[in-house]
Amino acid sequence: MLTTVSQANAYDVAMENFDSAADVMGLDKNTREMIKWPERMLTVGVPVRMDDGNIHRFTGYRVQHSSVRGPAKGGIRYHPQVSLDEVKALATWMTWKCAVVNIPFGGAKGGITCDPKKMSQGELERMTRRYTSAILPIIGPEQDIPAPDVYTNSQTMAWIMDTYSMTKGYAIPGVVTGKPISLGGSLGRNEATGRGVFSTIECACEHLHIPLKGATVAVQGFGNAGSITAQLLFDAGAKVVAVSDSTGCVYNKNGLNIPELIHMKSLCGHVDGFPEAEPILPHELLAMPCDILVPAALENTIHADNGSAVRARIIAEAANGPLTPAADRILESKGVFIIPDILCNAGGVTVSYFEWVQDEQHLFWEARDIYKRLDHVMKTAFRDVLKIHLEHNVSMRIAANMLGIGRVAEAVQIRGIYP
Ligand code: NAD
């Protein structure tokens, strides 16, 4: 299914996004120099004894793009395509994202180039613990706080928390977010990204006068972000007609039964073969006439070659960087309303922030408080971005970048340069 992905370099895309917004803002050269580049990049060797007795050396990364507004924050990805450039791009987007939702974090990202689907739990645990010990000098609750991303989860975070805590000699839950509840995780963190995506879709539908009830939806990627967004849209009465994951795509013109699809995926690990649906090809999902398209898989899935086929009215970027700049231009000229990633999927890091606050205070909140605060943060950020979009007549992506970059620029200008 990876055939739909373009080879565009995610870091080039991140830099192009930055320059476009900085140009519109008239950002001066010195401030650009201060905030554009990553502060710290660490590449580590991760030797792991595999179940067959052989040692395999993986390569891991942790990039801290910015700590200007607070500790660096960002997920850890396990995927065969992980590269330093990809991690740099994702870390850069985290900086602007945290600033867009105005939480006191900078941006970071980590990853290991590996194929987790071919590894046992034991191999994954040993790899995670060795990687943690390799990046340990630069992470910590006040310094850099990892979280789950593609093919990592709350169990991965538990191993990181345990490795870090054993080295320091006492339990330090605040070193990661997205932990299991029993270790100081937050209620609502698991579904936070999907909930945040949903809140921004509600705002976009209101702005465009599209009723959510009965709206048609296609979702590319059915993991944490995609499946929970689909569930919330289903609950709101939208018709989720097509869903894909790395194994295949399924379609039902009357709407898929999302709770049943989630149940099947949890049992067999794929959406392929869902009984009440017909199989379609990945490019057919992207070209589906629908109100809302939710790319929730990987970067660059919509690009120069397939962008013009998209027939959605709204694109809600649950994934990071799903559109290349070429696709952006094509879709903008077609009048598609794009909710950009650094706004759309910021619910995950927002509840990560809530989790970190709760860990630091040793005081835990109720789920309804978390959902309410999250919805408020997401809708405030949407309104802030929409205002810039309308006032400056720029795309929603440029508007979101202007908001995020502007807040980081202001912080760096006030802090000044050391020494
Ligand atoms: P996940 O591992 O839970 O799910 C990823 C899904 O994408 C899987 O269903 C996988 O099968 C599918 N997939 C992979 N390649 C595909 C392809 N070519 N076509 C269709 N489907 C494909 O990961 P996730 O946490 O849901 O992350 C998905 C995206 O959302 C990533 O871009 C991630 O950076 C972004 N994101 C996630 C969070 C979070 O809190 N989980 C927060 C912000 C952004």
Last residue in a domain, options 183, 214, 241: 183
- What number does the ligand 1 atom closest to the CA of 321 have? 32
- Report yes or no on 154 lying in a domain: yes
Ligand 1, atom 29, lies closest to the CA of 319
Per DSSP, 392 falls in state H
Q: How confident is the model at residue 389 (pLDDT cuts 50, 70, 90)?
A: very high
CA of 249 to the centre of ligand 1 (A): 15
- Pick 231 or 8 by higher pLDDT: 231
Q: Are 106 and 95 in contact (CB under 8 A)?
A: yes
397's tokens: 């992506």
CA distances from 247 to 4, 254, 281, 352 (A): 13, 22, 11, 29
Ligand 1, atom 14, lies closest to the CA of 246
Q: Are 187 and 366 in contact (CB under 8 A)?
A: yes
Q: What pLDDT sits at residue 7?
A: 67
Backbone phi, then psi, for 207, in 5-degree steps?
A: -60, -40
Q: How confident is the model at residue 1 (pLDDT cuts 50, 70, 90)?
A: very low
Residue 171 has pLDDT above 50, yes or no: yes
Q: Which is it for the CA torsion 318, 324, 327, 331, positive or negative?
A: positive
> For ligand 1, which residues put their CB under 6 angstroms from it?
1-2, 4-5, 148-151, 193, 220-226, 244-246, 282, 296-298, 318-320, 345, 348
User: How far apart are alpha carbons 156 and 125 in whole angstroms?
Assistant: 7
- What number does the ligand 1 atom closest to the CA of 178 have? 40
Last residue in a domain, options 183, 218, 238: 183
Task: Specify the 3-state DSSP secondary structure of 295.
Answer: strand
Q: How confident is the model at residue 8 (pLDDT cuts 50, 70, 90)?
A: confident
CA of 411 to the centre of ligand 1 (A): 32
CA of 361 to the centre of ligand 1 (A): 31
- What number does the ligand 1 atom closest to the CA of 301 have? 18
Q: 225 and 167, same structural domain?
A: no
- What number does the ligand 1 atom closest to the CA of 90 have? 34
Residue 201 belongs to domain with CATH number: 3.40.50.720
User: How far apart are alpha carbons 38 and 354 in whole angstroms?
Assistant: 25
Q: What pLDDT sits at residue 3?
A: 38
Q: 81 and 157, same structural domain?
A: yes
Q: What is the mean pLDDT of the chain?
A: 96
Mean of pLDDT values over 298-325 = 96
Q: Are 326 and 304 in contact (CB under 8 A)?
A: yes
Last residue in a domain, options 329, 344, 359: 344
Q: How confident is the model at residue 247 (pLDDT cuts 50, 70, 90)?
A: very high
Residue-by-residue DSSP string for 203-250: HHHHHHT--STT-EEEEE--SHHHHHHHHHHHHTT-EEEEEEETTEEE
Q: What pLDDT sits at residue 2?
A: 38
Q: What range does the domain containing 297 cover? A: 192-344
CA of 92 to the centre of ligand 1 (A): 18
pTM of the model: 0.96
Q: 174 and 78, same structural domain?
A: yes
Q: How confident is the model at residue 6 (pLDDT cuts 50, 70, 90)?
A: low
Mean of pLDDT values over 285-302 = 96
- What number does the ligand 1 atom closest to the CA of 4 have? 18
Q: 302 and 200, same structural domain?
A: yes
- Choose, from 73, 88, 109, 239, the residue flagged as catalytic: 109
Mean of pLDDT values over 376-395 = 98
**How many structural domains does the chain have?**
2
Pocket test for ligand 1, best of 94, 97, 98, 298 (most atoms within 8 A of CB): 298
Q: 338 and 214, same structural domain?
A: yes
Q: Identify any residues that bridge with 318 across adjacent strands, giving them in sequence order.
A: none
289's tokens: 């006439």
Q: Which residue has the tokens 């569930």?
A: 231
Task: Specify the 3-state DSSP secondary structure of 78.
Answer: strand
pLDDT tens-digit map of 347-371: 999 999 999 999 999 999 999 999 9
Pocket test for ligand 1, best of 149, 243, 262, 264 (most atoms within 8 A of CB): 149
pLDDT tens-digit map of 209-230: 999 999 999 999 999 999 999 9
Active site residue 109: yes
CA of 410 to the centre of ligand 1 (A): 32
CA of 341 to the centre of ligand 1 (A): 13
Q: 269 and 216, same structural domain?
A: yes
Q: 132 and 79, same structural domain?
A: yes
Residue 318's closest CA among 258, 386, 243?
243
User: How far apart are alpha carbons 385 and 397 in whole angstroms?
Assistant: 9
User: How far apart are alpha carbons 232 and 217 in whole angstroms?
Assistant: 12
Q: How many residues does the chain have?
A: 419
Q: Are 132 and 86 in contact (CB under 8 A)?
A: no
End-to-end Cα, the chain, rounded Å: 50
CA of 293 to the centre of ligand 1 (A): 15
Task: Specify the 3-state DSSP secondary structure of 15.
Answer: helix
User: How far apart are alpha carbons 192 and 176 in whole angstroms?
Assistant: 16
Mean of pLDDT values over 118-147 = 98
Residue-by-residue DSSP string for 380-391: HHHHHHHHHHHH
Q: Are 297 and 322 in contact (CB under 8 A)?
A: yes
Q: Is 237 left (phi over 0), alpha (psi -120 to 50) or beta?
A: left
Half-sphere exposure at residue 377, Cβ-oriented, CA atoms within 13 angstroms: 30
- Report yes or no on 225 lying in a domain: yes
The residues, any chain, with a CB within 8 Å of residue 275's CB and separated by 6 or more, are none
Ligand 1, atom 23, lies closest to the CA of 150
Q: Is the peptide bond before 116 cis (omega within 30 degrees of 0)?
A: no
pLDDT tens-digit map of 393-405: 999 999 999 999 9
